[in-house]
């Protein structure tokens, strides 16, 4: 819809002025109505689920089967020697704990990195260009892009000069 509509139609639908942008008070109202401009993060898995997923590997499953076979053979031979089975299970559990710890550290590092690299956006509001946190961009904002900027939201270009876009991110 937006890609096939004229700029004037879009501005009319979004009740914005292409030259002036949104008034600050209207931007605030839209923020309260639509919420922050960010992607919804998927629900985080519990530690228990993450721990169980550590066992979802061919080699780990093979080791568990080997431990079971070792225990069954010991039982069938009338021996009470379950040392091999216990050692294999202990190694598998230790491996799962280490994997869980590494996964937790990686998630914390990623969260810290996200907070450090929170992008800003330049928008035209009340006739002047101002830099705001990209999460504060609302429908109807006139976003001003310059070389090296990230596009903070789905946007419709009003005009451009020598535009080149890198879409790898």
* CA–CA dist 169, 164 (Å, integer): 14
- Give the best-scoring range by mean pLDDT among 15-19, 145-149, 153-157: 15-19
**Predicted local distance difference test score (pLDDT) of residue 118:** 64
Mean model confidence pLDDT for the chain: 88
**Pick from 124, 133, 62: which is nearest to 91 by CA?**
62
Query: Distances in Å between the alpha carbon of 14 and those of 8, 69, 92, 117, 131?
Result: 10, 68, 57, 29, 21
Residue 66 in this model has a pLDDT that exceeds 60? yes
Buried b (16+ CB within 10 A) or exposed e, 112-142: eeeeeeeeebbbbbeeeeeebebbbbbbbbb
Classify strands 142-144 and 120-125 as parallel, antiparallel or unpaired.
Answer: antiparallel
Domain spans of the chain, in order of start: 47-116
155: confidence class by pLDDT, cuts 50, 70, 90: confident
């Amino acid at each position: 819809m937006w890609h096939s509509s004229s700029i004037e139609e879009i501005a009319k639908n979004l009740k914005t002025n292409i030259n002036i942008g949104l008034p600050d008070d209207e931007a605030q109202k839209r923020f309260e109505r639509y919420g922050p401009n960010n992607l919804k993060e998927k629900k985080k898995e519990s530690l228990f689920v993450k721990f169980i997923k550590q066992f979802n590997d061919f080699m780990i499953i093979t080791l568990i089967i080997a431990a079971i076979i070792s225990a069954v053979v010991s039982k069938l031979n009338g021996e009470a020697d379950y040392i091999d089975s216990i050692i294999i299970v202990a190694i598998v559990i230790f491996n799962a704990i280490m994997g869980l710890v590494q996964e937790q550290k990686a998630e914390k590092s990623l969260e810290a990195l996200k907070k450090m690299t929170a992008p800003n956006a330049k928008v035209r509001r009340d006739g002047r260009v101002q830099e705001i946190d990209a999460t504060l961009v609302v429908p109807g904002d006139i976003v001003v892009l310059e070389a090296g900027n990230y596009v903070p939201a789905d946007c419709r270009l009003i005009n451009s000069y020598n535009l080149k876009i890198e879409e790898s991110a």
